[in-house]
Each structure stands twice: as C-alpha cells, then as structure tokens.
Amino acid sequence: MSNQDILWGIAPIGWRNDDIPEIGKENTLSHLLSDIVVAGFQGTEVGGFFPEPKILNKELNLRNLKIAGKWFSSFIIRDGLEEAAKEFHQHCAYLQEVNASVAVLSEQTYSIQGTEKNVFGEKPYFTDGEWDVLCEGLNELGKIAEQYNLKLVFHHHMGTCVQTLEEINRLMENTDPNHVHLLYDTGHIYVSDGDYMSLLIKHIDRIKHVHFKDSRQEVLNQCKEIGRSFLQSFLNGMFTVPGDGCIDFTEVYQFLLDHNYKGWIVIEAEQDPAIAHPLEYALLTRKYIDEKLLKTKDESLKTNFMKR
C-alpha cells in the first residue's frame, strides 16, 4: 500500500480548544487555515468555532484544504437514542455540506473529561444494561451517518466509560462492524493503558480514522502522581505532537501501511497555545513525518526495488 492512500491533517486543537474555549480565542479561522497550509497539511477537522458550511467551504477552497470530520458528544445513556439521533442528524448534515468523511463520536454520559476530577483515578463505568443501550444506540447512529455518506468513528477517550483497551474491546464486540467503526487515538490509549500497539493490532480492521497524539512521559508521570484532571494535564503539557514525545510513530505508521489503511491521519495535540506556539509545533511534526515516516518508507521501497 502506498503513502498516497493516506491524507494528512492537523486538528485546530493546537490553536483553539473546544474543551476550554477561552484558550487561543484570538486565533481566527483564517489564521488557523493559513498555518495549516504553511505546515503542508491537506486538511483539518471542524472546530467548535468554525462558521456555517458556505463560509467554511470558501475559506477551504481558497487554500485547497479538506475537512476530515468533526467531534460529536453523544449522550445516548443520559438522554436516550431519540434525542441523540436528532442532534446527530444535524451534525451529519453539516459534515456532508463540507464534504467530510467521518463523524467522530464520543459517548459523554458520566464523562469527567471537563471536570476537576483526577482523570487517572476517578474514571466512570457503565453498568451491563447501559453497555447494551449504548451499543444498540451506536448501531442506529452509524446507520444515520451512512445516510450522509459518512462513517461513524467512535473515539475512545480518557475520563469516559470507553477508555481502556478492555472497554474498547467490549464496544467493538457488541456493535455492528458494518455501521460502527473505530477512531484510533495514540495519545489517549497510551495515557490510559501505557501501550498503543495492542489496540492497533487487535482492531485494525475496524479503524477508519486516526489521531496521532504524542505524550511527554515525564509530564504524564507527574500528572498521574499529582492526580491531575484531564484539562489540567493537557494545560501542563501531557500531550504534544508526534516527534516531540515518547511514542514511536514509525511502528504505528508501518503497521497502518502494512494493513492497507486508507483515510486520514490527523495530528492532534492539545497544548496551551500561549506556551506551545501552534505553527512552530505544526512545522516540527511535519519535519518528523517527512523525515521519519514518509522518507523511511520511500527509502525502503527504493531498497526493495533495487534488490529485484
């Protein structure tokens, strides 16, 4: 499989963060999109501050950028499927208008990701009955996504009931592979389980969207020790871009290529933009991708070709 089957994006989260809308609010859409062009990416995901489709499409077309998808917080357990489906229809209609490929969904019932709770020690859990309701609901939302030419990709997330590999396994086993797909986020699974390859290997067939998020090991250790919240952890630098942390993305990328992964890889590293200059980090990770991921692959292709 060649590199051409993969689209590279970078998420707005390094510039502005929907979890704490005040940070980076001086960064405009034009600023963000132009930085993405400067850093050589093909697109992005929709942030909470993005405008209506007509305005967004104009800004994207001017820069030849694409939209991969957008986050959706579902509350299937709290509000019921009917309510979730109503909001999800609107979400998908927006995504279809901006020609996106995926609807990124995270079940946020009982989530502590936006609270002051210790994200390393106070995560919530679903009951068996709630798991059944969630999985059945996701199958229905997946069918809705398809009506808009989208794939529903489930985002496992720190501080939610679907965080660990064990929980992701349960979700995958009890949802329909035709309608519910998986978003693989390297940063979230690493911070949760201390391992990012097992999830990739086990669920490669269900993975239809990828977030490349790296982690600073020493900050992660400190956050765990102190018992920081999710928000305080990333404000203190727990996450960073690939090439700046402890995850070996060469291994991850090679595995994706070897298994014919087609679709987006979106760089997604929430940091405080006042501390981590967004363009500087976008360029840093671009260099890492070019030199360690794309170049290595081209060179191995070249070597294989010469051996023949």
Which 3 state secondary structure label does DSSP give 237? coil
Q: Answer whether 183's CB lies under 8 Å from 155's CB.
A: yes
Contact positions with Co ion (CB under 5 A) in 267-306: 268
Q: Which does 35 bind (CB under 5 to 8 A by kind): Co ion, ligand LX7YND4F, none?
A: none
Q: Which does 19 bind (CB under 5 to 8 A by kind): Co ion, ligand LX7YND4F, none?
A: ligand LX7YND4F
CB of residue 70 vs Co ion: minimum separation in angstroms? 12
How far, in whole angstroms, is CA 69 from its chain's centroid? 10
Using CB atoms within 10 Å of the CB of residue 147, give its burial: 0 to 12 exposed, 13 to 18 middle, 19+ buried.
exposed
Minimum gap (Å) between residue 93 Cβ and Co ion: 23
Distance between CA 214 and CA 250 in Å, rounded? 12
Token output for 293: 């991921």
Within 57-96, the residues that bind ligand LX7YND4F by CB under 6 A are: 71
Nearer to ligand LX7YND4F, 48 or 80 (CB): 48
Q: How many residues bind Co ion (CB under 5 A)?
A: 3
Binding mask 249-288 for ligand LX7YND4F (x = CB under 6 A): -------------------x-x------------------
Q: Per the structure block, which two tokens stand in for 161?
A: 């009931």
Residues 128-187 that bind ligand LX7YND4F (CB under 6 A): 155, 185
Eight-state DSSP code of residue 42: S
Contacts with 81 (C-beta within 8 Å, 6 or more apart), sequence order: 133, 136, 137, 140, 141
289: DSSP letter: I
Nearer to ligand LX7YND4F, 15 or 71 (CB): 71
Among 151, 211, 216, 286, binds Co ion (CB under 5 A): 211
Q: Rounded to whole angstroms, how far apart are CA atoms 188 and 270?
A: 12
Q: How far is the CB of 140 from ligand LX7YND4F (least distance, A)?
A: 22
φ, ψ dihedrals at 199, nearest 5°: -65, -45
Q: Residues, the chain, total?
A: 308
Is residue 18 near ligand LX7YND4F by the rule CB under 6 A?
yes
Binding positions for Co ion, rule: CB under 5 A: 185, 211, 268
Binding positions for ligand LX7YND4F, rule: CB under 6 A: 18-19, 71, 113, 155, 185, 188, 211, 268, 270
